[in-house]
Structure 1
Amino acid sequence: MLLRLPGLADRFPEHRALVERRLAARPARPTGGGPELRAVLGELTAQDTEAVVTAVDPAPGAGTDAPGRAVITPAVGLSPRIMHVIAVPAAMAGKDDGPWGLASCHRDALAAADGIGVHSVAFPMLGSSLPVGEAARIAVRTLAATPTSVELVRLVTPDAAAYAALTAALYGPARFGRD
């Protein structure tokens, strides 16, 4: 598999572009009834989706009341609807409820999307207080296993390391049982 050759994309930039085009054309197909999942290296607000998820501060009055809960607000000046979630606060990192809180964010955002009838959602990398690989695995595992009417989820990040972690979580050997 081309992605397992470290350094090849660095030595041949045209090869990197080819790999990224092929990955974009080959979405992850979850087996648990979840949506089609895609990793995107780019800006969240530039996505052509019906809804965008954003992380908010857990301070009182910030828009939602508890970690893992999603609240929908109008997207003033933007075409998608906005769903605000409190991702894993830094104080919870490393505790037993940290990963659970991150999974809950993804599940509740999908439930909120179902509630307003949208079929495509863009998520940022949530859970910045967790290691990026762990946050990516939790996001992919949770989204793939959550029954929903949402057909497409884009996991969007402007960060190359987070994109690599998302790509590994989506297309890695453990995800699809490849050698």
Structure 2
Amino acid sequence: MAVVTAVLGDITEQRVDAIVNAANNAMRGGGGVDGAIHRAGGPAVLEDCIARFPYGLATGDAGWTTGGALPAPWVIHTVGPNHRAGERDRSLLESCYRRSLAVADELGVHSIAFPLISAGVYGWPLDDAIAAAIETIDAVDTNVDDVRLVARDPEIFERISARLAEQP
């Protein structure tokens, strides 16, 4: 069973086996976490995205690329639902965490860092994004034993920490 912890910091600086990218469907980089990961990972991440995902990736799915220049050797890309655009099916958000952990297991990953998927520019309500992440990760049977939920914002970090403290 994975141990989930909250981390205040930059996901691109996490020393883990894999970091998760909250990507868009095109898989060609973007803003927010996606842009930060592509910038920090360098051109190798984009080149791998183009080679592995020539037609992009469906919402709720996940796949991997090299980590390029990142400390993590792997990036697991997942496409969260865009709440602001009307994609409000929570099962798609949960699928992002399940699929990311399945890909992590395929890669032999034991430590992974997630952002809060869809909680940024895609506008998923923050408390539900936190709950979906923690509940889904807790329910997945995985070989990953170290799961980090990384937040750059101290208030979001505190909210994640508080929710984790409520877990049995």
Instruction: State the TM-score, normalizing by the size of structure 1.
Output: 0.72
Structure 1: which amino acid aligns with 2:91? W
Q: Structure 1: state its 5+ residue gaps.
A: 1-33
Separation in 2 of the partners of 1:79 and 1:170?
26
Separation in 2 of the partners of 1:122 and 1:153?
6
Identical-pair percentage: 34
Task: Give the number of equivalent residue pairs.
Answer: 138
* 1:21-41 C-alpha deviation (Å, 9 max, x unpaired): xxxxxxxxxxxxx31100001
Separation in 1 of the partners of 2:150 and 2:71?
17
Separation in 2 of the partners of 1:154 and 1:53?
10
Separation in 1 of the partners of 2:154 and 2:75?
24
Whether 2:113 is the aligned partner of 1:119: answer no
State the shift of 1:58 in Å: 2.0
Corresponding residue number in structure 2 for 1:83: 76
Corresponding residue number in structure 2 for 1:31: none
Corresponding residue number in structure 2 for 1:67: 59
Q: For the pair shown, which has the larger CA radius of gyration, 1 or 2? A: 1
Separation in 1 of the partners of 2:153 and 2:95?
23
The answer to whether the Cα contact below 8 Å between 2:13 and 2:70 also exists between their aligned partners in 1 is no
Separation in 1 of the partners of 2:75 and 2:141?
21
Corresponding residue number in structure 1 for 2:40: none
Superposition pairs of residues 135-146 of structure 1, within 5 angstroms: 135-146=129-140
* 1:124–1:60 distance in 2 versus 1, CA, 3 Å: closer
Q: Structure 2: state its 5+ residue gaps.
A: 30-52
Separation in 2 of the partners of 1:78 and 1:114?
20
Please state whether the residue corresponding to 2:80 is helix, strand or coil.
Answer: coil
State the shift of 1:144 in Å: 0.6
Structure with greater contact order relative to length (CA < 8 Å, sep ≥ 6): 2
**Cα RMSD over matched residues?**
1.6
State the shift of 1:69 in Å: 0.8
Whether 2:10 is the aligned partner of 1:43: answer yes
